[in-house]
């Protein structure tokens, strides 16, 4: 039911999974304008200074010199990075679902190929993939951009893909008062592509069906 478009996103220079199972590793780290801002000037609910100290300790623990030129500002950069990639911990995804529109429509609404980036809570390594969301309205519909916003908030925190799938489905089912919700997530996990078992061609797929989608699942493909 939820067709998967497998293509390379040329706009993103980030390791991603593609239909041929290959990973794009041709990316370079770049500094941006926020890296030039002193850490003490950054307003964040995250304890940036504590992260900075911890990163410096890690560098020393692996045998590096945190005071050499290439690493001197790395603890500050990593602190800012964690504040950015985990900002969903301090946001309420439900706020994006408060504005609904009355519409007599009782067929499936599908938003697919929603790209997301999260972090595996077991190794704090990136999880990159796509989310496909379908719902059957019950007299109310949601703005098209709101579902990707919800996914971004829930993904930007230490996550498990299974939990992310369920959280998206349950939140949409509750806030939209939908007749049914279906969520499918497929992703590549760095924790098993760059370390450990090292299987770069693997894709992890999870699903959560609610309401009519669970009561009357689509027929299996022949």
Catalytic status, residue 14: no
Catalytic status, residue 90: no
Catalytic status, residue 189: yes
Query: Which residue is catalytic, options 14, 107, 123, 132?
Result: 123
Query: How distant is the alpha carbon of residue 3 from its chain centre?
Result: 20
Query: Which residue is catalytic, options 14, 27, 90, 122?
Result: 122
Catalytic status, residue 132: no
Catalytic status, residue 29: no
Query: Which residue is catalytic, options 96, 132, 159, 161?
Result: 161
Catalytic status, residue 87: no
With beta carbons less than 8 A apart as the criterion, state whether 26 and 18 touch.
no
Q: Which two tokens stand for residue 68?
A: 């050499």
**From the DSSP assignment, how many helices (H) and strands (E) are in the chain?**
6, 7
Residue 108 to residue 180: CA distance in whole angstroms: 9
Query: Which residue is catalytic, options 64, 73, 87, 191?
Result: 191
Strand-pair partners of 86: none
Catalytic status, residue 191: yes
C-alpha torsion 94→95→96→100, nearest 10: 90
Q: Annotated catalytic sites, by residue?
A: 120-123, 161, 189, 191
């Amino acid at each position: 039911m939820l067709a998967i478009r497998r293509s390379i996103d040329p706009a993103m220079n980030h390791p991603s999974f593609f239909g041929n199972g290959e990973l794009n590793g041709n990316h370079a780290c770049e500094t941006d304008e926020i890296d030039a801002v002193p850490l003490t000037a950054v307003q964040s609910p995250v304890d940036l200074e504590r992260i900075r100290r911890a990163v410096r300790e890690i560098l020393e623990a692996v045998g590096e010199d945190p005071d050499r030129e290439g690493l001197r500002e790395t603890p500050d950069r990593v602190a800012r990075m964690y504040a950015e990639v985990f900002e969903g911990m301090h946001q309420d995804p439900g706020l994006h679902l408060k504005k609904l529109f009355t519409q007599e429509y009782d067929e499936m609404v599908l938003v697919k190929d929603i790209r997301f980036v999260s972090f595996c809570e077991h190794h704090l390594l990136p999880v990159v993939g796509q989310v496909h969301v379908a719902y059957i309205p019950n007299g109310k519909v949601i703005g098209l951009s709101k579902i990707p916003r919800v996914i971004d908030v829930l993904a930007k925190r230490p996550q498990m893909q299974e939990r992310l799938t369920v959280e998206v489905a349950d939140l949409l089912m509750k806030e939209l008062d939908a007749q049914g919700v279906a969520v499918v997530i497929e992703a590549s996990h760095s924790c098993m592509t760059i370390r450990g078992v090292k299987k770069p061609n693997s894709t992890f797929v999870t699903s959560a069906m609610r309401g009519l989608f669970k009561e009357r699942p689509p027929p299996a493909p022949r």
